[in-house]
């Protein structure tokens, strides 16, 4: 057993997992507040990747710096989408949301394809190839930056949720939507804002994704399966859970990929999911949800 290889895979898994964690936490937030599964979340991630790519290309801003543009823009997109397409869903919200968000994903893919074409692109930053060495293994710098960004985003999210009035309103809505409404919280507004935050987080993830991988409007298909599994694993309403689940599962995937084979790596994802569903269907941090009407 090649220890340095194992170590390298572990480090890689943690760093990449952090980025997936940010993406997944946006998904978890949306579910927690609105009880909807946004299968279009990956499409939002890719949208974020394209935005940061364009910002990089036309404004020559480093994508990390460009987040000052990408994030608010994604937030806005999220809010608009929520108000236009999700708020009108009055009945059977949970079930219909899957279909609506899928439709949004398709439409987003079409729009992105229309404006950017279907060629694969990548945000190739100049420092993209520089690495640092740890334990005898080379790790690209961008992975570290991405991970630090992920941590910062999660910290900012936690601060928002636990130290602001808005955050309190969000948490209240997550706990019990009707009760929150009764005590005067404008749950519709909170929903829109939460969706926007989710989109912004997707944008953060997308920015890093776009630096490390080549992507095109089609790329969301591959991504959504992973994100959904991560969120289920972590417990659908829990952002903390999503982040940790992402770290765990991406590590397992990377280690399997290196030590066994790439085929079984993908499968390991779903094996872990199955085990989880059998043993603890609510995920790591989820709570057995009483069906809200």
Partner 1 sequence: MIGASISQTGDFSSDGNFVKQAYQLWADQVNSQGGLLGRKVEMKFVNDASSTQQVVTNYQTLISSDHVNLVFGPFSSLLTIPSSEIASRYGYAFVEPAGGSQEVFTRGLHNVFEAEPQAGYKDMTVFGHWLLSLPAGQRPKTAAYVSEQDPFIGPEVEALKNVLQAGGVKTVYNQTYPIENPDYSPLALAIANTKADVAALGVNIPDGTAFTRDFIQQDYNPKAIIYANGPDQGTTWISKVGQNNLNGMTAPIAWLPQLNTYGNKQMVAGYLKKYGGNAAGMSGDVAEAYSVGQVIQQAAEAAHSVSNAALIKALHSMTFKTVQGNFAFNKLGEPTGSLFLGQWVNHKWVRVYPPAAAQAKPIYPKPAWGQG
Partner 2 sequence: MTGSRPGWAKLRGCVVALAFCLAFPTLFPGSGVLNIALLTLMYVALASSWNILGGFAGYISLGVSAFFGIGAYSMGLILEHLIHMSGGYGPFALVPLAGLIAAVVAIPLGWVALRTRHAVFATATIAIMFVFQLLATNLSGITGGSAGLGYPVPTWTGDFYDKPFYYAMLVVAVVGVIIAWMVRRSGVGLGLLAIRDDEDKAEAIGVPTWSYKLVAFVLSAFVAGMVGAVYGYYTTYIYPQFVIDPLISIGAALMAFLGGSGTLVGPVLGALILEPAQLELGFHVNGQIYLILYGAVFLFVILLMPRGIVPSVGALIDSRRARRRGAPLAAPPPTQQPPTAEAVAR
Binding site for partner 2 (CB under 8 A): 31, 35-37, 39, 85, 88-92, 94-96, 98-100, 102-111, 113-114, 118, 221, 225, 228-229, 231-232, 236, 263-264, 266-267, 270, 273-274, 277-278, 281, 289-291, 293
Nearest-angstrom CA–CA distance, 22 and 206? 10
Given the rule CB under 8 A, which of 9-17, 158-166, 239-247, 272-280 is the region that contacts partner 1?
9-17
Q: Verify binding: residue 213, partner 1, rule CB under 8 A.
A: yes
Which entry of partner 1, partner 2, none binds 102, CB below 5 to 8 A by partner kind? partner 2
Q: Verify binding: residue 127, partner 1, rule CB under 8 A.
A: no
CB 245, CB 234: distance < 8 Å: yes
Which residue, chain included where needed, has tokens 């085929």?
A: 263
Task: Build a one-symbol-per-residue string for 236-265: x at contacts with partner 1 by CB under 8 A, - elsewhere.
Answer: -----------------xxx-xx--xxx-x
Which entry of partner 1, partner 2, none binds 82, CB below 5 to 8 A by partner kind? none
CB 16, CB 143: distance < 8 Å: yes
Among the listed residues 59, 103, 179, 214, the single contact to partner 1 using CB under 8 A: 214
Return all residues near 223 (Cβ < 8 A) that are at least 6 apart.
23, 42, 45, 46, 209
Q: Which alpha helices (H) appear in the chain, and where do they start and end?
A: 3-34, 41-59, 67-81, 93-116, 141-163, 165-175, 177-182, 187-212, 220-234, 239-259, 262-279
| Paired strand residues for 171 | none
Return all residues near 168 (Cβ < 8 A) that are at least 6 apart.
none
Q: Verify binding: residue 107, partner 1, rule CB under 8 A.
A: no
Nearest-angstrom CA–CA distance, 205 and 194? 17
Given the rule CB under 8 A, which of 54-62, 125-133, 189-197, 234-242 is the region that contacts partner 1?
125-133
Structure tokens that stand for 199 in this block: 């989109």
Which entry of partner 2, partner 1, none binds 140, CB below 5 to 8 A by partner kind? partner 1
Which entry of partner 2, partner 1, none binds 290, CB below 5 to 8 A by partner kind? partner 2
How near is the Cβ of 44 to partner 1 at its closest, in Å?
A: 16
The secondary structure of 185-214 as a DSSP string is --HHHHHHHHHHHHHHHHHHHHHHHHHHS-
Q: Which residues bind partner 1 (CB under 8 A)?
A: 2, 4-5, 8-9, 12-13, 16, 113, 118-120, 122, 124, 128-131, 137-140, 213-214, 216, 218-219, 221-223, 226, 253-255, 257-258, 261-263, 265-266
């Amino acid at each position: 057993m090649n220890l340095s290889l194992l170590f390298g895979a572990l480090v890689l898994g943690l760093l990449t997992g952090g980025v997936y964690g940010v993406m997944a936490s946006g998904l978890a937030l949306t579910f927690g507040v609105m009880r909807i599964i946004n299968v279009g979340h990956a499409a939002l991630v890719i949208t974020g990747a394209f935005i940061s790519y364009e910002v990089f290309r036309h404004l020559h801003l480093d994508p990390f710096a460009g987040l000052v543009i990408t994030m608010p823009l994604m937030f806005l997109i999220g809010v608009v989408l929520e108000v236009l397409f999700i708020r009108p869903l009055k009945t059977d919200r949970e079930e219909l949301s899957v279909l609506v968000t899928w439709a949004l994903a398709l439409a987003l893919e079409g729009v992105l394809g229309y404006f950017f074409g279907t060629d694969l692109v990548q945000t190739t930053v100049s420092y993209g190839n520089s690495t640092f060495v740890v334990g005898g293994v080379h790790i690209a710098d961008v992975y570290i930056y991405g991970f630090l960004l992920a941590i910062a985003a999660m910290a900012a999210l936690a601060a928002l949720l636990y130290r602001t009035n808005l955050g309190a309103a969000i948490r209240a809505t997550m706990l019990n939507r009707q009760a929150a409404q009764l005590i005067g919280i404008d749950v519709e507004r909170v929903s829109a804002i939460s969706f926007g935050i989710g989109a912004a987080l997707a944008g953060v993830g997308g920015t890093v994704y776009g630096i490390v991988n080549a992507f095109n409007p089609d790329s969301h298909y591959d991504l959504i399966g992973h994100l959904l599994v991560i969120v289920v694993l972590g417990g659908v309403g829990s952002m903390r859970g999503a982040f940790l689940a992402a770290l765990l599962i991406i590590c397992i995937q990377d280690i399997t990929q290196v030590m066994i084979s790439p085929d079984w790596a993908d499968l390991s994802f779903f094996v872990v999911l199955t085990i989880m569903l059998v043993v603890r269907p609510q995920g790591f941090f989820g709570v057995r949800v009483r069906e809200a009407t």
